[in-house]
Copies of this chain bind each other. A is one copy, B any other.
Amino acid sequence: MMVSVIIKGGAMKISKEKAAENRMALIKAASHLFRQHGIDGVGVAEISKAAGLTHGALYAHFESKEALAAEALAYGAKSNNAWMETLSTEHKPDLTAFLDYYVSQASRDGLEQGCVMAASASEIGRQDLAISRSFTDGYLDMVSLLEAALDKGKPKGDAHARALTMVASMVGTIAVARAVAKARPELSAQLLTEARKIFGELGGEKKK
């Protein structure tokens, strides 16, 4: 008769400081991996491994994969928007820099660090409330940022309404540019170029 001998591996307790670091590492890893492969496209094992842990540890920090996803989404939106805030000149967000950065091939191809909304928009409606909330917070943050960059007078009409529409439109543009890139790279590039111009006009960008 076979007797299986189980040797439990060593696992030291970690300081509170280190634990907080590990928690953050899980959120960052999840945020990057979800943007590359979608929420359903990455497993907890892969996320944990990328954070230098085993999957069991994940459940010491988060109730479930979905709870981690909500935090990862919020983190991704926050860091996207924090980066865009750096594109300001003299305390006023700069529309040209904003559009050049966002509506570009670099933005389209930089999946890991790229726009969370473009990477997840069509999946969010199928996820639960916590995830919808995280998405909405990130969306409104970006709307505020863009609104501050818009020339209030140029095209007549409410700047907030224009910002709401422009952010959703830019998200769609990046998502579609990604979707067609495999089949028609030159079409994808054309869409980005044309959209960049049109968004500039919509935002009241000064002509060169």
Contacts and interface: CB of A to CB of B under 8 A. Distances in A.
Interface of A: 36-38, 40-41, 111, 117-126, 128-129, 132-133, 135-136, 139-140, 157-158, 161-162, 164-165, 167-173, 175-184, 187, 190-191, 194-195, 197-199, 202
Contacts of A40: 38, 40-41
B181 A117 contact: no
Contact of A165 (B37, B167, B173, B175): B173
A111 to B, nearest CB: 8
A181 to B, nearest CB: 7
A11 to B, nearest CB: 33
Contacts of A194: 158, 161-162, 164-165
A178 B187 CA distance: 27
13 contacts: A40-B41, A122-B178, A125-B182, A128-B182, A136-B180, A136-B183, A139-B176, A162-B198, A164-B194, A165-B199, A171-B175, A172-B172, A202-B202
Given A118-B122, A157-B198, A169-B169, 8 more contacts: A37-B126, A125-B181, A133-B182, A168-B191, A168-B195, A170-B172, A171-B172, A172-B172
Given A168-B177, A169-B168, A172-B173, A183 B129 contact: yes
Contact of A176 (B117, B162, B199): B117
